[in-house]
Amino acid sequence: MNELTYRQTDDYLIPNLTVSETEQKPLGKYGRMRKRYLKEHRPILWNQLLLDGTLYLHLQEIDETANRRMAQMLPELAKRSGVTEALKAQNPLAWVGMMNNLKAQAEEVVLHELIFN
C-alpha cells in the first residue's frame, strides 16, 4: 500500500488521497449483486475495500468466480436430473422448464456461497 501523505490547511492536516488508475470493464450480474450486498449489509468491509482501492478487483473476482461456478454446476445438475438433448428435441417446453429449475438451484448455491457470504 502507498505511503499516506498530508498537506497543511489552516490548522488541519488533510490526507492526499488519489484514486488508482485501473482498467475497469463493466461488472456482471453477480458483481453488481455483491456490490449491493456489501454496501447495504457489510458497510465496514465495503469502506475498507473502497479505501484500499481493491473494491473493483474484489467485485470482478466474485463475478468471474460465480459465472465459472454456474457454468460448472449446470451441466452436472442436468446430467444428474436426466435432462438430455433427446428430451430437448422431444419435448422442448419440458426441457426449458427443467433447465430453468436447475439454473435456479445452481444460482441459489452461488448466491449463498459467494454473494451473501
For the segment 53-71, what is each residue's pLDDT rounded down to a tens digit?
899 999 999 999 999 999 9
Has residue 3 got a pLDDT over 90? no
Mean pLDDT of 102-116: 97
Domain contains 79: yes
The percent of residues in the chain predicted with pLDDT above 70, rounded, is 94
Has residue 21 got a pLDDT over 70? no
Domain contains 88: yes
Specify the pLDDT at position 25. Answer: 87
20 or 34, which is more confident: 34
Q: What is the CA radius of gyration of the chain?
A: 22
Domain contains 42: yes
Domain contains 36: yes
Domain contains 1: no
Cα-based distances in Å from 93 to 3, 99, 100: 60, 10, 11
Angle at 12 between CA 11 and CA 17, to 5 degrees: 155
Domain contains 35: yes
Instruction: Record the cell numbers describing residue 18, joined without a space.
Output: 488519489
- The model's pTM: 0.78
Has residue 22 got a pLDDT over 80? no
Mark out the alpha helices in the chain (DSSP H runs): 29-41, 43-52, 55-81, 85-90, 92-110
- Number of domain units in the chain: 1
Mean pLDDT of 60-86: 96
| Cβ–Cβ under 8 Å, residues 62 and 114 | yes
Identify the bridge partners of residue 14 per DSSP, sorted by sequence position: 7
Domain contains 94: yes
Domain contains 18: no
Give the range of the structural domain holding residue 91, as residue numbers without chain letter: 25-115
Specify the pLDDT at position 70. Answer: 97
